[in-house]
Structure 1
Amino acid sequence: MKLLAKTLLLAALAVLPAAASFTAGERVIVLNSGDGTVSIVDPATMKEVKRIPVGKEPHHLMATPDDKELIVANAASNDLVFLNPLSGEVLRRVERISDPYQIGYSPDRKWLVSASNRLDRVDLYNASDLKLVKRFELPKVPSHVAFNAASSLAFVTLQDSNEIAAIDLVAHTIKWKMAVGKQPAGIWMTPDDKHLLVGMTGENHVEVIDWRTAKSVKKIVTGAGAHNFLAMGDGRHLLISNRVSNTVSVIDQQKLEVKESFAVPGGPDCMELTKDGKQLWVTSRWIRQVTVIDMATRKVVGKVPVGKSPHGIYFHSHAARQ
């Protein structure tokens, strides 16, 4: 009987979701775009412990290059709020940033590029002091940003004109624009610096772009509403959220093909993967929820109620960004 009980216990433990590793006291930080707040979530209990106002329409967030601060971009209140990346505590605010929907640092840390979704332009700032250098009129609805490895080009999706644009960061000019599929949103540079991957939110695929020739070379079918990317940290595999089909797909960046897809409810949008690869946290945009996926089983193991229209998400103990 003792042997049977032990066998049953081991079998039960084998199907339990693996607990992810977080730093003691670390919090998950979630942007609620619809009500201008940030939800602070305890990853151990998967419960919101605090909700703080930060500004109007906080959509995206990213850590500073030194990882010492977390930047929240408030599009409608035209400012950046800097948080403690572990606790979510507000540290400071910079008020002279116009309509920062999506932001990105160039790999050489020289430039901060801001896609002004509402104002149909892209702004270039000095990363060191956040002084405006130049504005590029780029209708319509600049959305997401990526860079080449040399930091000589920034690439921006133009969601409502069904294009992507390349901005020359040396000459400060628009180098080229090209037509792509419907409603391009997330944009990603492959680790080998060869291809741009662009999520077509108005369709069901990722478009593969040879950015040196400005030509589309392949379509990777993922799911309806292909939207935003997150690296899995192994230098090869990439996640994309499919907002309409309520799935997340895994893309092999070497073969440029889908490896698998799994269900995530409520319009999955932004994602964060734990450093140990055990849990994927996803903002479910349409149901005011963060959904936690056990990556061993690809099953939902947590549902965290948050604010209206949750968008960006971050925690400090995340997987590598490639």
Structure 2
Amino acid sequence: MSLSHLAPLLCLSLLSATACAETAIVLNSVDENVSFIDTRTYKETGRAPACKEPHHLMATPDDSSVIVACAISNELVFFDPRTGKEQKRIKNISDPYQLGFSPDNKWFVANSLRLDRVDLYKAADFSLVARIPAAKTPSHMAFDKASRFVFITLQDSNEVLAIDLKTREAAWKLPVGPTPAGIHMTPDDKHLLVGIMGANYVEVIDWRARKTVKKIITDKATHNFLPKGDGRHVFVSNRSVKGSISLVDMQTLTEIEKYDVPGGPDDMEIRADGKELWATARFARKVQVVNLDQKKLSHSIPVGRSPHGVSFISHAPRL
């Protein structure tokens, strides 16, 4: 998940307005804190504590709150993005690892990775409606445009699970390659792209026909996705120690570029001007910066242990 909506919150709480204008934010999942990076000097300027194992966060659909999901403490913490003040906590949200709102804003979905299930809540009040078995290790999610289905990667059973949000039941499973991780719906709502972390490719699924139609070879440990913002291309992180990031054309379903990014690149964000791609290196305790004009690594910034999410203060939505 993007950290972009958390940036104003953290800046208002902890940094000056001037610093906020040029600050990147990195979530250090093992250290349970957040790093701040000056994007002009490419240096860490400070850290702030976060909740225990906050794997992901996201804004509410109306942008009135930022939700921080605490997997180990089993709660959601809501913050006011304008003042940085805590608004409320919702307890007994068990193991909220990955989060998502359906496009129609009716459903809030939480993947309980440790507990092998997907929980469906009403987005209006976060009341639990259904718990759906999802063995094994539900990880990332994607929705269709109609908000009829949510698709979940099951990392340890090597499947993609489709959940019918109308019936609130599992609709089907499809076997995929080893250790599926990230999942992304193409802008035309036709194909699901699945990062096959146990191999070296993106598996392309025609989800209506329930079949794999192509494998896009990228690099070892294909992991996660970030749309470039032009409605056609998507970045794909290949999370090995050697590491790389691929650029995939979602129309031709081919890899068209690749950048060397060592240290296990995971989550990514692109600068507003489109000139730099920032990626967390999970194994190297760094943030890696790729100059997209030069198509090579330009900066390597030390941060905390197991950095996960990275973002900037604001950027336009991408497709």
Same fold (TM over 0.5): yes
1:80 matched to 2:80 = no
Aligned partner (choices 301, 314, 318) of residue 317 of structure 1: 314
Name the structure 2 match of 1:12. Answer: none
- Shift in CA distance, 279/78, structure 1 to aligned 2, threshold 3 Å: same
Pick which of 27-36 and 279-288 moved more: 27-36
Deviation of the 1:183 alpha carbon: 0.2
Q: Where has structure 1 moved over 4 Å in runs of 4 or more? A: 83-87
Match of 2:248 in 1: 251
Match for 1:157 among 147, 153, 157? 153
Find the counterpart in structure 1 of residue 267 from structure 2.
270
Q: Give matches, 1:120-269, under 5 Å.
A: 120-244=116-240, 245-269=242-266
Gaps of 5+ in 1: 1-21
Deviations 1:202-237 (A, max 9, x none): 000000011112111110001100000000000000
Alignment of 1:280 with 2:284, yes or no, is no
Alignment partners' CA distance in 1, 2:38 and 2:90: 27
Q: Which amino acid is 2:224 matched to? A: N
- Kindly indicate whether residue 91 of structure 2 is the aligned counterpart of residue 95 of structure 1: yes
2:56 aligned counterpart, secondary structure: strand
Task: Give the whole-Å Cα distance in 1 for the aligned partners of 2:19 and 2:62.
Answer: 18
> TM-score, structure 2 length as denominator?
0.88
Q: What TM-score do the two structures reach when normalised by structure 1?
A: 0.87
Structure 1 residues 90, 293: CA separation in 2 closer, same or farther (over 3 Å shift)? farther
Structure 1 CA distance, aligned partners of 2:45 and 2:184?
A: 33
**How far off is 1:143 after superposition?**
0.3
1:65/1:274 Cα in 2 relative to 1: closer, same or farther (>3 Å)?
farther
Deviation at 1:319, TM superposition (A): 4.7
Question: Which 5+ residue runs of structure 2 have no aligned equivalent?
Answer: 1-17
Matched to 2:136, the amino acid is: K
Q: Deviations over 1:115-171 (max 9, x none)?
A: 111110001111222221111111100000000000010000000000010000111
Give the partner amino acid of 2:318: R
Q: Within the alignment, does 1:296 sit opposite 2:306 as a pair? A: no
Give SS of 2:58's match: strand
Q: Is the 8 A contact 2:113 2:137 kept in 1?
A: yes
* 1:29 aligned partner: 25
Counterpart mapping for 1:30-69 below 5 A = 30-69=26-65
Structure 1 residues 102 and 251, CA gap change in structure 2 (3 angstroms): same
Paired residue type of 1:211: W
Instruction: Indicate conservation of the 8 Å contact 1:25/1:86, yes or no.
Output: no
Contact preservation (8 Å) 1:231, 1:320? no
Whether the 8 Å contact between 2:144 and 2:150 is mirrored in structure 1 is yes
What amino acid is aligned across from residue 115 of structure 1 in structure 2?
Answer: N
Could you tell me how far 1:70 is from its partner in structure 2?
A: 3.5
